């Protein structure tokens, strides 16, 4: 059996002298590790050495390798099998294109990038996610529970790919649970300065910083560059008062006053509870099924409060996650799906599939401040908005056509707005006035001639 310090020795046995950051990865014991490294820095080789070292040093270990596509996961798995072969295949029981099995029960498995087909694994000792910046968030959320019982190690390695996805979220706001290692190209002795200068000229400054200097750059050519501005922090609507006025003391009064105070300071907004419940759906099986829904309030402001996003499941499975009291505007090409929804009691109306008018309707609501997305409610919609870009080809530019990807939740929103704004966006209406004060009643004769009418009396005591 190998000892715990063998990964470094194993790397040196291949005539590879580890850099300081590689020693930290190989000899460290960080349970959650993010590697934000330049292209060609050696991150894949480093974790490829960790995989067999972990499998050999502990019996019945399970090591999983994932990436954004099975082909890419297979590339990293190929490095693992090559290194194991160069080490004279210790304890090898069998090997195929997807799995290394060892005589003492350990396994190294290469997995496809499909959330619905990888849920059967548990008690994972080491999980490696390659090209993590490009791995879908739903896959990441599906594999994390595999580490729950084993308290296994999770290593995510990648070059940045914009300010989006779980890799950026964990890097920028994941807290102290993660140990982070950053390696720009100018700190890698194998990458020459002359080559970097050539790359800077050919790639452009933004792409160069992302590929070689670990910078999470905003995506160029986004269709909705300011979509994040519609995200709002909200507190729940105050409960019905049952006759109690907000000015009254007590917990209910304080809740109402506190909610209004935060809203007046711009720190939070109140989610409306009245209005028309509406939603949009983009059907999909291999591509994601996406649904977004919320409330169209009396001011014609659309509040998106929920999202459902998934792939590889029957429509009936998705419909279990959706409310029936919503008017759904759906993908017009899905006639069969629309029929199934109606049979199950949903109000499904075909939307308009015209892309450019739909984009214009989304942009109009963004510009007017009439689209609100509750913070944390629609993560996939926001992720797609960060990736949805105009095409760069000559034909695309002439036709003003966006690239046909990262647009499933966006399409659901487009179908919704294609109907509720079919006649153009109605301007935001002012707040509904409070109850008009009742006019003061002129006292009648009976009210005047009343013993309790003080106007009939002259006060003599007290003076």
Q: Is residue 446 part of a domain?
A: no
Taking alpha carbons only, the member of 198, 193, 415, 188 closest to residue 291 is 415
Judge whether 95 lies within some domain. Answer: yes
Indicate whether 151 and 16 sit together in one domain: yes
The CA distance from 230 to 256, in Å, is 24
d(CA 460, CA 440): 30
Rounded CA separation 108/52 (Å): 8
Q: Looking at the structure, do residues 283 and 196 belong to the same domain, yes or no?
A: no
Q: What is the pLDDT of residue 448?
A: 60
Question: Quick one: pLDDT band at residue 113, thresholds 50, 70, 90?
Answer: confident
Which residues pair with residue 372 across a beta bridge? Answer: 303
Quick check: is 181 in a domain? yes
Query: Same domain, yes or no, for 402 and 283?
Result: yes
Q: Quick one: 192 and 231 in the same domain?
A: no
Q: Is residue 329 part of a domain?
A: yes
Question: Residue 104 belongs to what H/E stretch?
Answer: none
SS3 assignment, position 348: strand
Q: Any idea what the CATH number is for the domain that residue 313 is in?
A: 3.30.420.280
Asked if residue 21 belongs to a domain, the reply is yes
14 plus 128 within the same structural domain: yes
Can you tell me the distance from the alpha carbon of 129 to that of 143, in angstroms, rounded to the nearest whole number?
Answer: 10
Alpha helical stretches, state H, 113-187: 137-143, 165-173
Tell me: do 86 and 159 sit in the same domain: yes
Provide the pLDDT for residue 389: 87
Is 177 in the same domain as 232? no
What is the average pLDDT across 236-242?
45
Q: How far apart are CA 356 and CA 296, in angstroms?
A: 23
CA–CA separation, 365 and 379 (whole Å): 19
Summarize pLDDT for 259-311 with one digit per residue, the tens: 454 445 455 678 888 899 999 999 999 899 999 999 999 999 999 999 999 98
Q: Is 57 a member of any domain?
A: yes
pLDDT above 80: residue 427 = no
Does 459 map to a domain? Answer: no
Which residues span the domain enclosing 130?
6-212
pLDDT at 221: 78
- The domain that contains 13 carries what CATH number? 3.40.50.300
pTM, two decimal places: 0.58
184 and 324 fall within a common domain:
no
> Based on the domain organization, do 184 and 41 belong to the same domain?
yes
What is the number of structural domains in the chain?
2
Q: Tell me: do 79 and 159 sit in the same domain.
A: yes
Query: For the segment 316-329, what is each residue's pLDDT rounded down to a tens digit?
Result: 999 999 999 999 99
Domain identity same for 180 and 232? no
Average pLDDT, the chain: 84
Q: What's the mean pLDDT in 182-186?
A: 95
Query: Is residue 222, in this structure, part of any structural domain at all?
Result: no
SS3 46: helix
- Pair 201, 231 in one domain: no
């Amino acid at each position: 059996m190998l000892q715990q310090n063998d990964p470094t020795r194993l790397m040196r046995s291949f005539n590879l002298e580890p850099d300081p950051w590689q020693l930290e990865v190989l000899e460290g014991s960080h349970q959650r590790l993010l590697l934000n490294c330049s292209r060609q820095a050696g991150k894949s080789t480093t974790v490829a050495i960790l995989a067999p070292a972990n499998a050999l040093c502990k019996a019945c270990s399970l090591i999983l390798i994932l990436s954004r596509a099975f082909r890419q996961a297979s590339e990293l798995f190929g490095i693992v099998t090559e290194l194991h072969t160069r080490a004279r295949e210790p304890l090898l029981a069998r090997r195929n294109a997807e799995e290394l099995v060892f005589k003492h029960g350990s396994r190294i498995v290469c997995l496809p990038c499909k959330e619905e087909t990888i849920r059967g694994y548990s008690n994972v000792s080491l999980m490696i996610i390659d090209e993590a910046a490009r791995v879908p968030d739903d896959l990441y959320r599906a594999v994390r529970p595999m580490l729950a019982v084993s308290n296994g190690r999770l290593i995510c390695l990648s070059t940045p790919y914009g300010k989006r996805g779980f890799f950026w979220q964990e890097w920028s706001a994941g807290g102290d649970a993660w140990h982070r290692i950053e390696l720009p190209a100018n700190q890698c002795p194998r990458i020459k300065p002359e080559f970097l200068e050539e790359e800077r000229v050919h790639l452009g400054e933004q792409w160069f910083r992302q590929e070689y200097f670990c910078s999470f750059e905003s995506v160029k050519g986004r269709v909705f560059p300011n979509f994040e501005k519609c995200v709002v922090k909200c507190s729940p609507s105050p409960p019905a008062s049952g006759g109690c006025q907000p000015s009254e003391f007590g917990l209910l009064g304080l809740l109402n006053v506190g909610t209004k105070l935060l809203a007046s300071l711009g720190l939070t907004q109140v989610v409306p509870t009245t209005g028309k419940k509406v939603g949009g759906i983009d059907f999909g099986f291999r591509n994601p099924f996406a649904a977004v829904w919320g409330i169209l309030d009396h001011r014609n402001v659309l509040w998106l409060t929920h999202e459902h996003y998934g792939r590889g499941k029957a429509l009936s499975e998705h419909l279990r996650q959706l409310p029936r009291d919503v008017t759904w505007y759906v993908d017009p090409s899905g006639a069969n799906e629309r029929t199934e929804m109606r049979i199950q009691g949903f109000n499904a109306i075909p939307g308009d599939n015209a892309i450019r008018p739909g984009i214009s309707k989304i942009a109009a609501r963004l510009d007017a401040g009439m689209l609100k997305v509750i913070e944390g409610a629609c993560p996939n919609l926001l992720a797609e908005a960060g990736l949805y870009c105009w095409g760069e080809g000559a034909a695309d530019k002439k036709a003003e056509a966006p690239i046909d990807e990262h647009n499933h939740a966006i399409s659901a929103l487009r179908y919704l707005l294609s109907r509720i704004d079919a006649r153009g966006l109605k301007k935001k209406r002012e707040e509904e006035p409070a109850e008009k004060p009742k006019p003061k009643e002129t006292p009648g004769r009976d009210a005047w001639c009343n013993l309790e009418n003080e106007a009939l009396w002259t006060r003599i005591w007290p003076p």
